């Protein structure tokens, strides 16, 4: 039996540049991967410890308290008032859900999975794992007349986007939903950077609450979740990447089908992690604090990148700056590596990213300042 053909793991290609950056006299500043570096908030760690005596198997569908916390969080933070506990499911991080969703939905060889033009590589990988065909869809109008064999079974959206940080407005999302329903397409929206929206002020102050709309927002979906799934992760907003804490929500039938497959496969979020998720979802204060930290780092890097001749495109939300100097991305990667700064080439995310690099905000204040000084120093 031959395993599915998968692309090379992209970050392996960065290893030579990591070696160059690591040789810098003042050490490497690694801005290539968006892994949190700040402490996990104590309110979450305390909940994990309190639930550590957990000898029994957790429920695949999740403890009731967690499902209720997810429903309440969607209503409070994402403008989605009409979820029920049967429409949500905790997952072992969001990456595994992205990678396995086509398989969990029963896609097979010959089926098409639509992915964004500039995209997180796992959308492509997930289609291949199911034996389906990934297809870049840069705009619905470009698809033209569709036959059943040409119509995607699953369409991925990513807003705020990784790597670009672009945010899709309500009007755009509503058009996608209407189109998908006409053609019987399931839409999965990866929204894991939504709380890190740089268009929205400090959430503790008056101002617009939902400038990064969810696919499940009534203004987008018309009050029906039919054919829609929203994917979310607590890794970014709560510094929980090591906990593997995420969830999916939306269409009751789709969520129910995913639950059944995952029950057979033993895909369960550990009980103590579920308890920690309840605490994380119920506390908005730590999210606001973390956003302020990232905001300071973002402003410092924006200033330094401008001084170094870079243009930053999109980047309205999320943990990255999508930057360019109008040259091949690998030339930029090498130049920055020689300054001791490691970034991700835009070509990792599709051919349209070949002149950009993705620069993460996920480094300590000291390392961000070191990167800024190196950029400003020429």
Q: pLDDT tens-digit profile of 48-66?
A: 999 999 999 999 999 999 9
* Confidence (pLDDT) at 139: 72
β-strands 341-342, 29-30 pairing: parallel
pLDDT of residue 20: 96
pLDDT exceeds cutoff 60 at 142: no
Q: Tell me how far apart the alpha carbons of residues 278 and 337 are, in angstroms, rounded to a whole number.
A: 41
Domains of the chain: 10-39+286-376 (3.90.1150.10), 42-283 (3.40.640.10)
Each residue of 209-226: pLDDT tens digit?
A: 557 999 999 999 999 999
Beta-carbon count within 10 A of 367 CB: 18
- In the Cβ-directed half-sphere of 171, how many Cα atoms lie within 13 Å? 0
Q: Is 277 within 8 Å of 113 (Cβ atoms)?
A: no
What gap in Å lies between CA 118 and CA 137, rounded to an integer? Answer: 10
3-state helix, strand, coil in the chain (%, to 5): 45, 15, 40
Distance from C-alpha of 306 to C-alpha of 310, rounded to nearest angstrom: 5
Q: Assess whether pLDDT exceeds 70 at residue 34.
A: yes
Q: What is the pLDDT of residues 91-133, one digit of tens each?
A: 999 999 999 999 999 999 999 999 999 999 999 999 999 999 9
Read off the pLDDT of each residue in 237-253 and give the average, rounded to a whole number: 97
At 151 the pLDDT is 87
Of 351, 217, 374, nearest in space to 359 by CA: 374
């Amino acid at each position: 039996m031959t395993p599915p053909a998968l692309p090379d793991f992209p970050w392996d290609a960065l290893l030579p540049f990591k070696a160059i950056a690591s040789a810098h006299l003042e050490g490497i500043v690694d801005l290539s991967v968006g892994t949190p570096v700040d402490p996990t908030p104590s309110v979450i760690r305390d909940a994990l410890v309190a639930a550590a005596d957990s000898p029994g198997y957790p429920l695949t569908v999740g403890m009731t308290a967690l499902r209720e916390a997810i429903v309440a969080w969607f209503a409070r933070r994402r403008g989605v008032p009409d979820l029920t506990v049967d429409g949500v499911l905790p997952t072992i991080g969001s990456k595994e859900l992205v990678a396995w969703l086509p398989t969990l939905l029963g896609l097979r060889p010959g089926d098409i999975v639509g992915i964004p033009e500039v995209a997180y590589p796992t959308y492509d990988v997930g289609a291949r794992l199911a034996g389906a065909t990934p297809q870049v869809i840069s705009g619905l109008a470009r698809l033209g007349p569709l036959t059943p064999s040409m119509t995607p079974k699953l369409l991925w959206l990513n807003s705020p986007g990784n790597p670009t940080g672009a945010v899709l407005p309500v009007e755009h999302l509503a058009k996608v939903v209407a189109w998908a329903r006409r053609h019987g397409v399931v839409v999965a929206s990866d929204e894991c950077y939504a709380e890190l929206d740089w268009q929205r002020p400090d959430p503790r102050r008056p101002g617009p609450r939902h400038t990064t709309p969810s696919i499940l927002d009534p203004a987008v979906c018309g009050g029906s979740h039919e054919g829609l799934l929203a994917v979310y992760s607590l890794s970014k907003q709560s510094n929980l990447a090591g906990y593997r804490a995420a969830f999916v929500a939306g269409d009751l039938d789709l969520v129910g089908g995913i639950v059944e497959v995952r029950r057979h496969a033993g895909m369960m979020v550990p009980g103590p992690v579920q308890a920690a998720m309840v605490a994380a979802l119920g506390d908005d204060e730590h999210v606001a604090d973390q956003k302020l930290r990232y905001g300071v780092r973002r402003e410092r890097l924006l200033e330094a990148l401008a001084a170094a001749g870079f243009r930053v495109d999109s980047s309205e939300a999320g943990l990255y700056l999508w930057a360019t100097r109008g040259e091949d991305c690998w030339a930029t990667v090498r130049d920055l590596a020689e300054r001791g700064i490691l970034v991700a080439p835009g070509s990792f995310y599709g051919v349209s990213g070949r002149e950009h690099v993705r620069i993460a905000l996920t480094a300590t204040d000291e390392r961000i300042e070191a990167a800024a000084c190196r950029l400003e120093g020429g």
